[in-house]
Structure 1
Amino acid sequence: MTTTPSRLGLPQLSVSDAHHIGELIEEAQAGLEHAITEVRTLLQQRDLVALWDDEQGAFRPEFTHLAGRYHALQRSLREISESGYSWQHDLSVFVDAQR
């Protein structure tokens, strides 16, 4: 296998660089896990049933954006940790638990 020199003259990615990148990804994952834990704890201590619209089967419009961002954060963590996003990560489970 031959390598083609970069037209930009940049150095190749080293083993050290790859190791450092891996560490940064692990730090990002730990940060996501910490943030999600804090958000989940706060949400579990609040009345989410009041934010739920039974007729629509969804959160009320004023909470939809925040719930969407929480779910996006959960999906990001599941993606980076290479595990699947499931119903257990959905805030509607918290609503059902509070009933």
Structure 2
Amino acid sequence: GHPFGFTNQGCDVYTRTVYGARASVTVGVCATLGVAILGSILGGLAGFFGGFWDSILSRLTDIFFAIPVVLGGLVLLSVVTSNTVWPVVGFIVLLGWPQIARIARGS
């Protein structure tokens, strides 16, 4: 059957919902993978090498923690002219990795 029913024109509502959610799911999955990979690598490097590299990567993490996410997003995405989801994914990865890096460094 058709769990969400039909529209007045006879279109399946479930199919249209899934089709409309493509961009949101793409952003969510790709941004999560990007943040996890980048944060794990940088946090792991800081924790493994320690000393000078730990100090540099920890300060870089602190700098990115200081950027307000909403304001940073407005500024970064206002200069992008692309109509794809990839600038949004890049922005989320750029401002989201410090949390994972801090967790990975402490492990």
User: Which bin holds the TM-score, normalised by the shorter protein?
Assistant: 0.3 to 0.5
Structure number with the higher strand fraction is 1
> Which one has the largest radius of gyration?
1
The structure, 1 or 2, with the larger RCO (C-alpha pairs under 8 Å, 6+ apart) is 2
Structure number with the higher helix fraction is 2
TM-score normalised to structure 1 length: 0.40
